């Protein structure tokens, strides 16, 4: 009798395991199809599948915690899901400046009055669509710089124009192209030489020979370019003057962010640049609205809300902007 019960339990376990494996197989194939993932050999596919499964368990467990109210954000299996933590940690695209390169500006010394409780420059139609720097080019600094200029040019002129990130990657020799850069140096280049439209200098996702054409450049008149520290300082600048580049210490969980207010763990140092376009409050929790450059399939249609006024992942340490005239 006991042996029959044991066999029934064993059969049930085996059936459940088989169904779970079949379900995971289906999810793997669907994910491959959704993101166009193909591998050169069966061995490579097996290797990527093991990483994918490990990340799937991480995402599933985290979302279970979110469902129970123990996490403020959710994760999803996106185009990074077949990459290991070690691989993604090598993807740093932010160059730390020397002390001489910093040009700190304070907004605290000027009385601007009470700031609005929330700001979102997308509502003013002065933020371009989400872009994708690609998997093989550490050009986040160029996207954050160009995003700042696009928005602030729009705020001053009423015209939303897409400028060229590729020009910065190829031609700004104070930075290192696909190997990283510092937005403040890129602002200095853009103000000195101007920027071409992206339609005239399209993004390639890798470095190429500089194809700068002065006759196609739009000149940028700037009263100053500077970097900021301190989240109150940043909020003042953002509310009054417009979006700005922000530096961030990205760690593994951030790559899988889906929605909610991110307050996950962080890297030990700044390694990524993005564009802050606003701030707000949700359930008494303050947050930044930030546009990333990992495509619109990442995050919340390419955006992330980041916990504000706690220096989450060092976001309050090094913002950069240029005041256009």
Q: Which residues are catalytic?
A: 140, 272, 292
185-214 as b/e: b if 16+ CB within 10 A:
bbbbbbbebbbbebeebebeeeeeeeebee
Nearest partner of 127 among 111, 104, 146, 150, judged by Cα? 150
Which ranges constitute the DSSP H helices of the chain? 2-35, 42-67, 85-89, 140-157, 165-171, 183-193, 231-241
Give the pairing of strands 257-262 and 303-307: parallel
Give the max Cα distance, the chain.
90
Which residues make Cβ contacts (< 8 Å) with residue 46, sequence separation at least 6? none
Give the pairing of strands 272-282 and 285-291: antiparallel
Give the Cα separation of 91 and 94 in Å (integer): 9
Beta strand ranges found along 141-299 (DSSP E): 195-196, 217-218, 222-228, 244-248, 257-262, 272-282, 285-291
Give the Cα separation of 296 and 311 in Å (integer): 25
CA 46 distance to own-chain centroid: 29
Cα atoms in the 13 Å half-sphere on the side-chain side of 261: 18
Task: Indicate the burial class of 174 (C-beta count within 10 angstroms; 0-12, 13-18, 19 or more).
Answer: middle
Which residues make Cβ contacts (< 8 Å) with residue 157, sequence separation at least 6? none
In 3-state terms, what secondary structure has residue 21? helix
């Amino acid at each position: 009798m006991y042996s029959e019960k044991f066999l029934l339990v064993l059969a049930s376990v085996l059936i459940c395991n088989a169904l779970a494996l079949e379900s995971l197989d289906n999810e793997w194939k669907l994910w491959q199809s959704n993101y166009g993932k193909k591998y050169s050999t069966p061995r490579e596919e097996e290797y990527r599948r093991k990483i994918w499964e490990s990340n799937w368990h991480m995402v599933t467990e985290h979302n279970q915690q979110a469902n129970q109210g123990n996490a403020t954000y959710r994760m999803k299996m996106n185009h990074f899901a077949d990459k290991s933590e070690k691989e993604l940690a090598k993807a740093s695209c932010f160059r730390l400046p020397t002390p001489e390169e910093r040009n700190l500006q304070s907004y605290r010394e000027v009385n601007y009055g009470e700031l609005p409780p929330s700001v979102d420059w997308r509502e003013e139609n002065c933020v371009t669509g989400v872009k994708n720097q690609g998997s093989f080019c550490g050009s986040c600094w160029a996207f954050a710089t160009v995003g700042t200029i696009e928005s602030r040019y729009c705020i001053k002129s009423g015209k939303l124009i897409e400028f060229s990130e590729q020009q910065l990657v190829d031609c700004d020799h104070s930075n290192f192209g696909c190997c990283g850069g510092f937005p403040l140096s890129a602002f200095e280049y853009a103000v000195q030489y101007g920027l071409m439209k992206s339609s005239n200098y399209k993004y390639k996702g890798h470095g190429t020979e500089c194809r700068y054409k002065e006759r196609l450049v739009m000149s940028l008149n700037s009263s100053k370019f500077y970097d900021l520290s301190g989240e109150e300082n940043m909020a003042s600048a953002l509310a009054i003057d417009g979006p700005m580049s922000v530096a961030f210490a990205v760690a593994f969980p951030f790559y899988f962010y889906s929605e909610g207010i991110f307050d996950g763990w962080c890297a030990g140092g700044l390694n990524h640049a993005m564009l802050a376009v606003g701030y707000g409050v949700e359930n008494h929790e303050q947050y930044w609205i930030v546009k990333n450059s990992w495509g619109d399939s990442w995050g919340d249609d390419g955006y992330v809300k980041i916990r504000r006024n706690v220096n989450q992942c060092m976001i309050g340490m090094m913002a950069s902007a240029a005041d256009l005239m």
